[in-house]
Each structure stands twice: as C-alpha cells, then as structure tokens.
Amino acid sequence: MRSPALRHVLTHLITPLLMCLGMGLAYMGAFVTPEPHHLPVAVVGEGPRAKVFAQTVKDQAGDRLDVRTVGTRARAVDLLKSRDITGAYVPDAKAPELVVATAASDMGATAVEKVFTPVAAQQGRPLKVTDVARPVADDPTGQGLFFLLIALSIGSYASVAALGAAGAALSTRVRALLTLGVSVVVSGIGALLAGPVFHLAHHDLAGVFGMAWLYSAGILFIGVGLHTFLKRWTTLTMMVLFVMLNFTSSGGLFRPELQNGFFGALHAFWNGAGFVEGARSLLYFDGDGLGRSVGTLVVWLLLGLAVSALAAGYERLRTPASHGAHAAGAHAAGHAAGAAHAPAGTRSAPALPARGTVDEARSGEPRPAGEAAEEEIEETVAV
C-alpha cells in the first residue's frame, strides 16, 4: 500500500472491527436465546407418589430440567439458599406452592415459575410462589451486582493503557505500586456505588470492597503484564478476556443453567462469576459458598502477579540491549559534534543518519513514543 497514512488508519481499524465481531458473537450467543439446560429443581415429598410425580415432570421437560425429590419443605429451602436448586415445587391438592430464591437469579426463578405454573393448572389450582431470598428493595431484580461488575471492569481494563503505555518509561516497581493504587481506587469507587449511592449492599460493605479489590487487582496486573508483550493489541485482548467472556459468563443476568454449555463452563472459574457469586453469597445467603468465590478471585490475582513478574523479567533482559543502543546513539552524536568543530579545511566523512531514522523516513509513519502511547490510551478509553 503506497500511502503510509492510509495503512496506519486501516491497521488501527482492525481492533474495533474485531471487537464488533467478538461482542456480537459473545453477547448474542450468551443472552439472545436463554433456555433451561439441566436446570436443577426439586419436588417436595416422600414415597412412591412423589417419585412418580417427579419423574413425570422430568419426562415432560426432557433435558431442560434436573428433577430430584426432597423429604421436607425445610430441606428444599436449605438447598435453595445454598443455590443447589433453582426452585422447589410443593404438591398440594388445595394450594400447590413453588419456592424460589430470586436473589440467586431473578431469571432462573422466572424460568422455574413458567415450568410449574402449567403443572398446577392441570390440578385446577393456582400456583402460590414463595420467595425465600428476595433482593433488597433498591435492587428489585438482583441485577445491580452485574452492573457494578461492569463499572469495576471498565475502570480496571481502561487503566491498563495508562499504566502500560504511558508508564512504560517508569520502573517496574513504580508501575506495580501504581497498579496497586489504581486497584484500591477502582474498588473504592465500586464500594461507594454499591453502598451510599445505590444501596445495593445494606451490610458487609467492607466485604464487597475486598472482593472488588481482588477482582480489580487481578485484571490490572494481568493487563499491565501483558502490555509488555502485546503493546497496542492489549486492548483487544483485555476486551476478549474481561468483557466478551467475562460479562457473559458471570451469571449476573442469566445463571449458567440458562445458557449454553460454553458460557456455563466458564462460569465455574472465570473471575467475573467469582465476584458476582461472592457478592450474592455475602449479601443474601449468609456467606454460603463465599470461600469458593474468593478463592477464584485470589487465583486470578496470583495469575496477574505471575504475568507481571514474567514481564518484569523480560524487561530486565532487554535493558542491556537498550543501553547498548543508547550508547551507540550517543557515540554517533559525539562523532557528528566533533566533525562540526573540526578545523577548517579538515575533511571528515559525512554523518550518516541512524538506521532507525532512515527506516522512519522510508515508511513515513512512525511517531514519537509519547504520541503512540497517547493514541493507545485514547483508543482504549473510547472503546
């Protein structure tokens, strides 16, 4: 391509176009057609009659439901609060009841209600729905934690460009301290939004802050470490990891049982799911399952620290070569200065431009490092 400027523009268009494709595939694949896949439910009752009824429901639903029987309603409530089941149907000739926990998943509760409403109708009775874990009034759908996840994610991955590109001249230790500081600020903003501003967390705000910090720090350290190797392609990589795959598998809108197998599998170990499920455990389910969620976030943070340490080692290996190139440039500059101050009549060889200068003149496109960093930051934040 003859025009360097046109080639430069077309190169930078690759990132947003790939994001367009990736976001479409991820969001539409995860959210457009939510259908139950082995949705766990229970039928309350003992004896052959309850088992036959549960098997009948299973046969009618096929792979959409995983149906079990439990002996008592109290046991079913325990399973709901541990999020082992999504709903429990209590057969009764006079008043059939469906027990759900909408704080675990409003969409899941709705899906279960659609399944069992016709079952009750066949008995000629209206279905009574009882919610044993309702979200706070300030977050009636229970989806506020998902939007908090989005805010934390954007604050984290958008800061990577500033820390990685604009901070490239800083030492790895200073960048690590800045990364740590940014993670504290981002998680502080998240706690402010979850508490005083939107009242998602009526208690245990310190715990929400701690999980937000683990989540943000993991993303930041992974991103800053990857920037050493990927440079301007870091933005696309971060979008894939912490938007396309992260938001869709977090369970913030749809639990994994309402998604296809791919996103359902990611939910088991991705960091967004760790934050959302951990916050739910803390705020609505008395900490049940909190240890597993925190463990997931810790593993992602350790991964980020490992990537950053690898990047620091790589940069240290490159430092001698950089110093050598710097010394060669200084030597060339000194030679040129000596030639300029040589006595009149003394001939000296014409100063040759450095190879990088020749290459830049030929291509017509390189820019100062600071300008390239600013461009990368603007591209990242705009996305």
pLDDT tens digits for range 57-71: 998 888 889 999 999
Question: What is the pLDDT at residue 298?
Answer: 98
- For the segment 181-197, the average pLDDT, to the nearest whole number, is 97
1 against 22, higher pLDDT:
22
pLDDT at position 239 is 93
30 or 328: which leads in pLDDT: 30
- pLDDT confidence of 108, banded at 50, 70, 90? very high
* Mean pLDDT, range 324-333, rounded to an integer: 46
The 10s digit of each residue's pLDDT in 7-29 is 888 888 888 899 899 999 998 98
pLDDT value of residue 210: 97
Q: Is the pLDDT of residue 377 over 60?
A: no
Provide the percentage of residues in the chain whose pLDDT is more than 70: 83
Statement: residue 333 has pLDDT above 50: no
Long-range Cβ contact pairs of 209-213 (< 8 A, separation 24 or more): 211/274, 211/275, 211/278, 211/279, 211/282, 211/293, 211/294, 211/297, 212/148, 212/152, 212/186, 212/187, 212/275, 213/183, 213/184, 213/187
Judged by average pLDDT, the poorest of 162-166, 219-223, 237-241 is: 162-166
pLDDT at 73: 94
Cβ atoms of 178 and 167 within 8 Å: the answer is yes
How much is the pLDDT for 382? 47
List, in sequence order, every beta strand (DSSP E) within 63-145: 65-70, 87-90, 97-100, 128-131
Q: How confident is the model at residue 130 (pLDDT cuts 50, 70, 90)?
A: very high
Integer Cα distance of 256 and 36 in angstroms: 9
3-class secondary structure, 91: coil
Lowest mean pLDDT among 65-79, 123-137, 310-324, 342-356: 342-356
- pLDDT at 143 > cutoff 70: yes
Please tell me whether residue 69 adopts helix, strand or coil conformation. strand
Q: Does residue 131 have a pLDDT over 90?
A: yes
Q: How high is the pLDDT of residue 199? A: 96
pLDDT at 230: 92
pLDDT digits (tens, 9 = 90+) for 272-288: 999 999 999 999 999 99
Residue 126 has pLDDT above 70, yes or no: yes
Collect contacts of 118-125 with beta carbons under 8 A, ≥24 apart: 119/57, 119/89, 120/96, 123/93, 123/96, 125/92, 125/93, 125/94, 125/95, 125/96
Residue 133 pLDDT > 50, yes or no? yes
The two structure tokens encoding residue 299: 């593993």
Is the pLDDT reported for residue 325 higher than 60? Answer: no
pLDDT band of residue 169 (cuts 50, 70, 90) is confident
Q: What is the mean pLDDT of residues 244-258?
A: 93
In this model, does residue 293 exceed pLDDT 50?
yes
Please provide the average confidence, as pLDDT, over all residues in the chain.
Answer: 85
Q: Which pLDDT value is given to residue 356?
A: 42
Mean pLDDT of 201-209: 96
pLDDT for the residue 109? 93
Quote the pLDDT of residue 337.
43
> Which of 20-34, 234-248, 292-306 shows the lowest per-residue confidence on average (mean pLDDT)?
20-34
- Judged against a pLDDT cut of 90, whether residue 159 lies above it is answered with yes
pLDDT exceeds 50 at position 189: yes
| pTM for this entry | 0.82
Res 367: pLDDT = 52
End-to-end C-alpha distance for the chain, whole angstroms:
27
